[in-house]
Amino acid sequence: MGTPKTSIVAKLKRRGGRGDQSPLGTWFWDIDRMLLLLTLFLIAIGLIAVAAASPASAVRYSGEHHKIAPLYYFWRQLMWVGVSLPVLFGVSMMPVSMARRMAIGGCALFVLMLMVTPFIGVEANGARRWLGVGFAQFQPSEFLKPLFIVTVAWLLSLRAKDAELPTVLITGAMTAGVAVLLMLQPDFGQTIIFCSVWMALLMIAGTPAKVMLGLVAMAPAGLIAAYVFYGVARSRIDAFLFPGVEGEGAGDHFQTNAAHNTLTAGGWTGTGPGAGAAKFGLPEAHTDYIFSVIGEEFGLIACSVIAVIFLAIVVRVFVKLLDEQDEFKLLASAGLATQFGAQALVSMAVNTGLAPSKGMTLPFISYGGSSMIALSVGMGLLLAFTRRNPFLTRSPYVVRWSGE
């Protein structure tokens, strides 16, 4: 008599517990819950930050006959978060093989879109980085970043099966092609991110030291060439190195100077939510320079906490990868974490005046639909590739610098 009742109670207890064998239960217990929690925390911080920056941007972009509501960008960002979270969870539930195929196919699709963007893209602030579809616009390069990284990681992992494959040459040609397409838009910041992550993946994959040294030696030559032949890079570098110089880069210096002044206006504890005044003189307060708005209204302590969260996410991934045996998952996860950390670092460096203006959003915090959805795809892939494997043992994988 008591057995069926006991069985039902036991099933109910297992539901949601470690014994839950449902797809959702398996996903929850296999996923890196700390990584997911830190990501959701960043998204929550982002909503608060966009709410703080929205009034300043609304005033700046309101016209004589068109007034933007003070919290317009906040409500839009809340909508984008509502779209992005299902994307993040959905991608993180994919089996590794499915996620890899999706990324490779998506990479090919967005490369094609990137090829036409400089010619038919929507122009904004002197650059064509957006494609318009009906009433919507999106930035192909944002979506390409995580998909390209996974594709490069897959190609580099093939070398473990066939050491004769010219993976460095193939992935180098791919990266160079994407860099050229980005420079045509122009988008100097994204170009640096793509190239930096590619070099990081080569190093992690155990590329011979002589090849890495050659690539490192070529980096200054590439920067010099960009300075000489690429007007956008030259103007931004000039504005950063020589603030008093008049010309095309003067506006960039004004932006970075305004960002630094806004960042430090609130001191250690900030002026309080909604009490900031310097943000109203800040261009792109809700996107590129949102870190400065956080500094003004919530203080440098809040900025430090955010920087620590970004660092914790990257360190968490790399520590977890110490136990990874699958070379593809190792490279893909390391590449995605590197891109995530590099983008955050560049954005914060620009806001603090340590780097020239690059138009780089702060991951999960800056306003933007393309950025939010693309970052959700990237983090979803990262969560999928770092899911717990109960049969895992410590990896013997060690980067080889012997040139073998």
Helix, strand, or coil (residue 76) = helix
Tell me what pLDDT residue 391 has: 47
Q: Tell me if 188 sits within 8 A of 381, measured CB to CB.
A: no
Query: Does residue 27 lie in a domain region?
Result: no
Tell me what pLDDT residue 136 has: 76
Tokens in use for 284?
A: 């792109």
Q: Confidence band (pLDDT; 50, 70, 90) for 7?
A: low
Query: Does residue 308 lie in a domain region?
Result: yes
Our count of domains for the chain comes to 1
Q: Confidence band (pLDDT; 50, 70, 90) for 133?
A: confident
Query: Does residue 23 lie in a domain region?
Result: no
Q: Tell me if 129 sits within 8 A of 64, measured CB to CB.
A: no
Query: Does residue 10 lie in a domain region?
Result: no
Question: DSSP character for 363?
Answer: T
Tell me what pLDDT residue 250 has: 52
- CA gap 393, 390 in Å, rounded: 9
Query: In terms of C-beta density within 10 A (0-12 exposed, 13-18 middle, 19 or more buried), how is residue 385 classed?
Result: buried
352, 275, 253, 372: which is closest to 306 by C-alpha?
352
Tell me what pLDDT residue 120 has: 86
Task: Tell me the whole-structure pTM to 2 decimals.
Answer: 0.87
Mean residue pLDDT of the chain comes to: 85
Tell me what pLDDT residue 362 has: 95
Q: Tell me if 335 sits within 8 A of 241, measured CB to CB.
A: no
Query: Does residue 9 lie in a domain region?
Result: no
Tokens in use for 120?
A: 């038919």
Q: Tell me if 321 sits within 8 A of 334, measured CB to CB.
A: yes
Q: At what angle do helices 369-385 and 140-157 cross, to 10 degrees?
A: 20
Q: What is the pLDDT of residues 91-114, one digit of tens each?
A: 999 999 999 999 999 999 999 999
96: containing domain:
32-385
Q: Confidence band (pLDDT; 50, 70, 90) for 119?
A: confident
Dihedral of the CA atoms 310, 316, 317, 322 (nearest 10)? Answer: 150
Tokens in use for 165?
A: 């494959």
Count CA within 13 A, CB hemisphere, residue 99.
29
The secondary element (H helix, E strand) that includes residue 127 is strand 127-133
Query: Does residue 129 lie in a domain region?
Result: yes
Q: What is the pLDDT of residues 69-86, one digit of tens each?
A: 999 999 999 999 999 999
E strand map for 185-227: none
Tokens in use for 143?
A: 């979506």
Q: What is the pLDDT of residues 29-54, one digit of tens each?
A: 888 999 999 999 999 999 999 999 99
Q: Confidence band (pLDDT; 50, 70, 90) for 173?
A: very high
Classify each residue of 6-34 as buried b or exposed e, where b means 16 or more C-beta atoms within 10 Å of its C-beta. eeeeeeeeeeeeeebeeeebebebbbbee
Query: Does residue 133 lie in a domain region?
Result: yes
Q: What is the pLDDT of residues 247-299, one digit of tens each?
A: 555 556 677 788 888 898 888 998 988 888 888 888 888 998 999 999 999 99
Q: What is the pLDDT of residues 328-353, one digit of tens each?
A: 999 999 999 999 999 999 999 989 88
Query: Does residue 22 lie in a domain region?
Result: no
Which of the pair, 21 or 323, is modelled with greater confidence?
A: 323
Q: What is the pLDDT of residues 212-230, one digit of tens each?
A: 888 888 878 777 777 776 6
